[in-house]
Amino acid sequence: MSPRVLVVDNGSLSTAVLRRRFAEFGADVDVTPHHQLPPNARRYQAVALTGTKIPADRGDYRTLIDLLRECAVPVLGVCGGMHILGLAHGGALVRKGGRVGNHVVNVNVGDDLFSYVGPEVKLFQRHTLYMTQVPHGFRVVGWSDDCPIEIIRSEDGRLTGSQAHLEFRGDGHRIMRRFLELAAG
């Protein structure tokens, strides 16, 4: 049976690419705008949050945050989706210089999310917001010299956030595939 994934569109230009990647990995994928969420996420094995058109620190994502706090399925937040996850759990953001293109990120290879990659991955970045405080109940599992909080995971492993757009490059695809495998059990 294929895992069902709900992709929550927060206004990202790459929503279609994120949906297509999950489908390529064998998932049945539904896409919904963040302001039209289903009443619960119980029929899904995972939820993915896209980047944001309106930055997470300025948008109204309360309904989405409520869903994240109530659902028990694994969640992957990409770029602005990571920021929403972080803000929902007490993280802090700062606006600074833009970052676009491929960047090397160090990952904790002891974390099962990184089974298919080495200790350094190349990931595509496109953002101006950075997390400056790790959310309560999370740990940093990916970092770089100019962005010390690249990838976060909740202590129970259910919630994952990536500053990078995993949907655009091979190392990101491998991380997404592993997330889906872990979600499917």
pLDDT digit string, tens, across residues 131-171: 999 999 999 999 998 889 999 999 999 999 999 999 999 99
pLDDT band at 67 (very low <50, low <70, confident <90, very high): confident
68: pLDDT strictly greater than 90: no
Residue 133, C-beta contacts closer than 8 angstroms, at least 6 positions apart: 86, 90, 91, 92
Domain 4-184: CATH superfamily is Class I glutamine amidotransferase (GATase) domain (3.40.50.880)
- In tens, the pLDDT along 1-46 reads 588 999 999 888 899 999 999 999 999 999 999 888 887 677 899 9
Q: Strand, helix or coil at 172?
A: helix
Per the CB < 8 A criterion, the answer to whether 89 and 146 are in contact is no
Question: Which has more confidence, 38 or 179?
Answer: 179
Give the integer Cα–Cα distance in Å for 7 and 170: 20
Domain boundaries, the chain: 4-184
Per the CB < 8 A criterion, the answer to whether 38 and 70 are in contact is no
70: pLDDT strictly greater than 80: no
Q: Please list the residues that pair with 144 across neighbouring strands.
A: 147
pLDDT band at 55 (very low <50, low <70, confident <90, very high): low
Give the integer Cα–Cα distance in Å for 32 and 23: 15
**Taking the complete model, does pTM exceed 0.85, yes or no?**
yes
**pLDDT at site 169:** 93
**pLDDT at site 65:** 81
Q: 6 exposed, middle or buried (CB, 10 Å; 0-12, 13-18, 19+)?
A: buried
**pLDDT at site 54:** 67
75: pLDDT strictly greater than 70: yes
